[in-house]
A and B are shown apart, each in its own frame.
Chain A
Amino acid sequence: MSIGSDEIIKLMKKCGIEFSERRVLKNADLTEMLDSLDMANLLLALEENYNILIPDEKIKDIANISAMVDFINSKS
Chain B
Amino acid sequence: MIGLQAISCYIPEGWDDNREKLEVFGIDHDFLINKIGVIKKPRKSATEETSDMCVKAYKALAKKIPVEQEAIDCIVVCSQNPDGHGLPHVSAIVHGKLGLKDRVAAFDISLGCSGYVYALSVITSFMKENSLRMGLLFTADPYSKIINNDDKNTSLLFGDAATATLLSEDPVYCIERSSFCTRGKDYRSLICENGTLQMNGRAIFNFSATCVPPQVKDLLNASGYTLEDIDIFIMHQGSKYILDTLSKRLKLDPQKVPSNLLNTGNTVSSSIPLILQNYMNDTQTRKIVISGFGVGLSWATSILNRI
A residues in contact (CB < 8 Å) with B: 16, 35-37, 39-41, 43-44, 48, 56
- Report chain B residues within 8 Å CB of A56: 202
Nearest first, the 7 closest Cβ-Cβ pairs linking A and B are A40-B205, A40-B202, A37-B241, A37-B35, A44-B206, A35-B31, A36-B201
B245 at the interface (CB under 8 A from A): yes
- Report chain A residues within 8 Å CB of B245: 41
Using an 8 Å CB-CB cutoff, how does the interface string of B200-233 with A read, 1 for contact, 0 for none? 0110011001100000000000000000000000
CA–CA, A35 and B30, complex, Å: 11
B248 at the interface (CB under 8 A from A): yes
- Report chain A residues within 8 Å CB of B35: 35, 37
- Report chain B residues within 8 Å CB of A35: 27, 31, 35
Task: Tell me the interface secondary structure of chain A in the complex.
Answer: helix
Tier of interface size on chain B: 10 to 19
B residues in contact (CB < 8 Å) with A: 27, 31, 35, 201-202, 205-206, 209-210, 239, 241, 244-245, 248
Instruction: Tell me the nearest residue of chain B to A36, going by C-beta.
Output: B201
CA–CA, A53 and B27, complex, Å: 29
- Report chain B residues within 8 Å CB of A48: 210
CA–CA, A41 and B205, complex, Å: 8
- Report chain B residues within 8 Å CB of A16: 244, 248
Instruction: Tell me the nearest residue of chain B to A16, going by C-beta.
Output: B248
* B248 A44 Cβ-Cβ under 8 A: no
Cβ distance B73 to chain A, nearest Cβ, rounded Å:
45
Cβ distance A59 to chain B, nearest Cβ, rounded Å:
9
- Report chain A residues within 8 Å CB of B202: 36, 39-40, 43, 56
CA–CA, A36 and B202, complex, Å: 8
* B248 A37 Cβ-Cβ under 8 A: no
Instruction: Tell me the nearest residue of chain A to B242, going by C-beta.
Output: A37
- Report chain A residues within 8 Å CB of B27: 35
Cβ distance A38 to chain B, nearest Cβ, rounded Å:
8
* A40 B201 Cβ-Cβ under 8 A: yes
Instruction: Tell me the nearest residue of chain A to B245, going by C-beta.
Output: A41
CA–CA, A23 and B187, complex, Å: 37
Cβ distance A48 to chain B, nearest Cβ, rounded Å:
8
- Report chain A residues within 8 Å CB of B210: 44, 48
- Report chain B residues within 8 Å CB of A44: 205-206, 209-210
Cβ distance A12 to chain B, nearest Cβ, rounded Å:
14
